[in-house]
């Protein structure tokens, strides 16, 4: 293959600069995950903006439906968009467009005032932002091979995850102490007024600026992927064939490739299924951890954010350590070890009580989340055929969305069945166990060439 200036041969190491630039995007992306989706804006939307919403349907329900529609959009479009990124050799351009749209949507959240009439506008921004944000991870994850070699893909993936965790920690602390902490009409060290939700609206703007600033290095220092022999299915000119024919052709190519994948490489299919299950369990750990901390183990409301920060630190350190182990013993061994350790820690949480025990076993559990997430990404990178990384990471997003109901559903079922919040832990553990059992038969890829 003839190398083109400004492009990277697939699998070529490009030096430490591109690795740091690639990880910097993950650091910026933490602004959407931590501030917008999890801890700040979504809470503001349901508790403040929708506080006096008439009609009998809670704002939380509307939020769930909005994010559910966003997830459906991702599930439907991620594989064919990944196919287009591969065939058109425009991963970086596509990532730039999706990142810019997400940043603009985040900045627009400044206009969501503390009035239930603005709830629908806020939900629309959040749903659209969630869609573009998750779609952006398809070309971003596909770039992992461009900034690593088969011998370093594990540690580079772990480095990216850790950058995301650390970025979220720093930004959350900045938001809390600068805009949110304290009581009265003016909050934080900056003394921002809370009238009309101004302090939270400014946090959304800060998150948008953070994402944009840390995303820039990737577009300056990570080369674009070269053209490959990937089928141009989704890259066919819309002008030539029309929008619907182009989309239809893209799905025909997708289903053909999925059939071929099933016939030729069932390991990849098996991993996509297994990872979808255990990744939902990993998400459940963070989704329901704060609820359990307060309602079961007696953690004070004011200390939940502190535990969340500590959990992110432990997950980041785990991702760094797990990435190095990944390159030594292979990604499957890291994932299996992490899942087993999480299951054991979860079993202890079922029988212990009190804040101290939650701090101990909760942090032990979260330290293994980072390695499992990081090695899942490196596993797929190792087995992806050159030139089809985007399509496979699109399927990775789709399969994850397809089973994303498991942990929430089982958590709710066990809480209802035993009339105890503690019992919800069983639901999360069952998802982790199911993912582990589905992963065990999957043949491991080689850690090094």
Residue 446 has pLDDT above 90, yes or no: no
Residue 229 domain flag: no
pTM: 0.82
CATH at 317: 1.20.1250.20
278 and 380 part of one domain? yes
Q: Quick one: tokens of 203?
A: 């946090």
Q: For position 156, what pLDDT does the model report?
A: 93
Residue 128 domain flag: yes
Strand (E) or helix (H) holding 165: helix 153-175
Strand (E) or helix (H) holding 78: helix 59-88
Q: Which of 48-57, 173-182, 395-404 has the highest mean pLDDT?
A: 173-182
Residue 28 domain flag: yes
Residue 10 has pLDDT above 80, yes or no: no
Cα 123 to its chain centre, rounded Å, is: 19
Residue 40 domain flag: yes
68 and 202 part of one domain? yes
Residue 221 domain flag: no
SS3 124: helix
Q: How far apart are CA 368 and CA 363, in angstroms?
A: 9
205 and 352 part of one domain? no
**Out of 59-63, 139-143, 303-307, which region has the weakest mean confidence (pLDDT)?**
303-307
**Nearest alpha carbon to residue 148 among 21, 16, 26:** 16
Domain extent, residue 18, equals 12-216
Residue 228 domain flag: no
202 and 270 part of one domain? no
The percentage of residues in the chain with a pLDDT greater than 70, rounded to a whole number, is: 87
Q: How far apart are CA 431 and CA 437, in angstroms?
A: 10
Higher pLDDT, 345 or 258: 345
337 and 435 part of one domain? yes
70 and 25 part of one domain? yes
Q: For position 242, what pLDDT does the model report?
A: 53
The percentage of residues in the chain with a pLDDT greater than 90, rounded to a whole number, is: 45
266 and 205 part of one domain? no
190 and 268 part of one domain? no
Residue 411 has pLDDT above 90, yes or no: no
Residue 317 has pLDDT above 80, yes or no: yes
Residue 79 has pLDDT above 70, yes or no: yes
**Out of 98-102, 167-171, 204-208, which region has the weakest mean confidence (pLDDT)?**
167-171
Q: What is the largest CA-CA distance in the chain?
A: 65
Residue 161 has pLDDT above 50, yes or no: yes
Q: CB neighbours (10 Å) of residue 245?
A: 12
Q: Quick one: tokens of 60?
A: 């939380």
DSSP assignment of 317-365, as one string? HHHHHHHHHHHHH-HHHHHHHHHHHHHHHHHHHHH--SHHHHHHHHHHH
163 and 291 part of one domain? no
Residue 140 domain flag: yes
Calculate mean pLDDT across residues 398-411: 80
**Nearest alpha carbon to residue 9 among 116, 206, 147, 118:** 147
Residue 236 has pLDDT above 60, yes or no: no
Q: How far apart are CA 55 and CA 61, in angstroms?
A: 12
Which of residues 170, 192, 216 is at a domain's end?
216
Q: To which residue do tokens 């292979």 refer?
A: 330
**Structural domain tally of the chain?**
2
Residue 404 has pLDDT above 80, yes or no: no
Q: CB neighbours (10 Å) of residue 243?
A: 9
């Amino acid at each position: 293959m003839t190398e083109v200036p400004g492009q990277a041969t697939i699998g070529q190491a490009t030096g430490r600069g591109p690795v740091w630039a690639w990880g910097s995007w993950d650091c910026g992306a933490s602004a959407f995950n931590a501030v917008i989706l999890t801890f700040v804006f979504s809470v503001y939307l349901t508790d403040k903006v929708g506080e006096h919403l008439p009609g009998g349907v809670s704002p939380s329900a509307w939020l769930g439906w909005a994010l559910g529609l966003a997830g459906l959009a991702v599930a439907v479009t991620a594989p064919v968009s990944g196919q287009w990124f591969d065939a058109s050799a425009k991963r970086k351009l596509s990532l730039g467009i999706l990142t810019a749209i997400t940043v603009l949507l985040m900045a627009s959240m400044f206009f969501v005032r503390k009035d239930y009439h603005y709830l629908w506008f806020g939900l629309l921004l959040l749903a659209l932002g969630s869609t573009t944000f998750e779609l952006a991870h398809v070309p971003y994850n596909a770039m992992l091979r461009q900034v690593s070699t088969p011998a370093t893909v594990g540690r580079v993936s772990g480095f990216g995850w850790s950058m995301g965790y650390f970025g979220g920690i720093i930004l959350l602390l900045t938001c809390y102490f600068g805009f949110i902490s304290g009581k009265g009409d003016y909050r934080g060290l900056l003394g921002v007024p809370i009238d009309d939700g101004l302090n939270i609206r400014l946090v959304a703007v800060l998150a948008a600026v953070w994402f944009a600033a840390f995303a820039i290095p990737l577009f300056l220092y990570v080369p674009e992927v070269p053209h490959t022999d990937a089928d141009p299915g989704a890259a066919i000119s819309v002008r030539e064939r029309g929008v619907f024919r182009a989309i239809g052709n893209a799905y025909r190519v997708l289903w053909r490739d999925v059939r071929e994948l099933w016939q030729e490489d069932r390991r990849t299919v098996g991993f996509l299924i297994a990872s979808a299950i255990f990744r939902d369990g990993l998400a459940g750990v963070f989704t329901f951890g704060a609820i359990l901390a307060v309602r079961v183990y007696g953690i004070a409301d004011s200390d939940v954010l502190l535990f969340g920060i500590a959990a992110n630190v432990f997950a980041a350190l785990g991702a760094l350590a797990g990435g190095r182990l990944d390159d030594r013993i292979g990604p499957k061994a890291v994932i299996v070890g992490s899942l087993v350790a999480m299951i054991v820690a979860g079993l202890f949480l079922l029988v212990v009580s009190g804040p101290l025990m939650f701090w101990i076993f909760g942090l032990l559990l979260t330290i293994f989340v980072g390695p499992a997430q990081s090695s899942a990404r490196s596993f797929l990178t190792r087995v992806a055929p050159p030139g089809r990384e985007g399509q496979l990471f699109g399927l990775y997003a789709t399969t994850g969305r397809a089973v994303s109901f498991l942990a929430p559903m089982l958590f709710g079922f066990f809480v209802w069945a035993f009339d105890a919040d503690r019992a919800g832990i069983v639901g999360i553990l069952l998802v982790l166990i199911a993912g582990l059992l589905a992963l065990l038969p999957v043949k491991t890829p080689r850690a090094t060439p």
